[in-house]
């Protein structure tokens, strides 16, 4: 039987990170956020980096030979081809694909919670997935931002708008429902109304009902 996975998407400053941690503690399962996924992705790339390094050394030797034999013509052509390849490659898309593979491998290790990273998109066809969206009113989010960063209301409002814009851009880039941030979710919950602890308790109870 497949492990179950809970994906949590959230509005900035709706206490999604805290709620994910509390829910994971109740269920006894790990929570993987952006930092954890990026760290695991870097670990998975280390052998590739070594391979690339060896390949680059071999390429450098080959270029030197061609430069000596052909007066630099091969080197120039190689650089031109490299520029074309760099234009075609989409680093953001490649990074998303790498992180998606890492997230799938983490879920294969055991039940878990994945915070953000368009995980609802990654596990949209997973038979034992619960997709959650956490939100709160603008007033609550501004207050949470002020408390979290010890800043004034104007700075909190500016930061919140910037974060909302960045998350919207990420969703529009990698989600199959880019125009609706709540589409594809099973539970929508207002953390401002319920508080972090009660929200986590409700999510844990829902997971137990569905999977345990």
Per-residue pLDDT of the chain (212 residues; tens, 9 = 90+): 579 999 999 999 999 999 999 999 999 999 999 999 999 999 988 655 444 444 445 454 554 444 444 544 555 555 455 555 554 458 889 999 999 999 999 999 999 999 999 999 999 999 999 999 999 999 999 999 999 999 999 999 999 999 999 999 999 999 988 889 899 999 999 999 999 999 999 999 999 999 99
Tell me: do 15 and 60 sit in the same domain: no
- Distance, CA of 203 to CA of 207 (rounded, Å): 6
Write out the residue range of the structural domain in which residue 57 sits: 42-91
Residue 116's closest CA among 103, 107, 129?
103
- Number of folded domains that form the chain: 2
CA distance 183 to 131: 10
- β-strand 5-10 against 31-32: which pairing, if any? unpaired
Q: Could you tell me if residue 98 is inside a domain?
A: no
User: 32 lies in a domain?
Assistant: yes
Residue 166 and residue 113 share a domain: yes
DSSP state for residue 124 in the 8-state scheme = T
113: helix, strand or coil: strand
Predicted model pTM: 0.80
Dihedral angle at the C-alpha atoms of 178, 96, 40, 20, nearest 10 degrees?
Answer: 0
């Amino acid at each position: 039987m497949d492990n179950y996975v809970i994906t949590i998407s959230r509005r900035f400053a709706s206490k999604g990170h805290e709620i994910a941690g509390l829910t994971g503690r109740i269920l006894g399962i790990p929570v993987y956020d952006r930092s954890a996924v990026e760290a695991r992705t870097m670990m998975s790339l280390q052998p590739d980096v070594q391979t690339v390094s060896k390949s680059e050394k071999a390429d450098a030797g080959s270029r030197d030979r061609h430069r000596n034999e052909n007066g630099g013509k091969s080197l120039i052509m190689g650089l031109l081809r490299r520029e074309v390849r760099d234009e075609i490659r989409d680093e953001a898309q490649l990074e998303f694909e790498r992180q998606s593979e890492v997230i799938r491998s983490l879920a294969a290790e055991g039940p878990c919670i994945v915070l953000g990273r368009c995980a609802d998109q990654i596990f949209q066809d997973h038979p034992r997935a619960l997709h959650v969206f956490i939100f709160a009113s603008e007033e609550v989010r501004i207050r949470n931002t002020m408390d979290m960063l010890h800043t004034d209301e104007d700075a909190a409002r500016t930061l919140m708008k910037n974060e909302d814009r960045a998350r919207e851009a990420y969703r529009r880039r990698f989600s199959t429902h880019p125009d609706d941030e709540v589409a594809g979710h099973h539970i929508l919950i207002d953390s401002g109304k319920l508080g972090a602890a009660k929200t986590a308790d409700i999510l844990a109870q829902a997971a137990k009902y569905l999977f345990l």
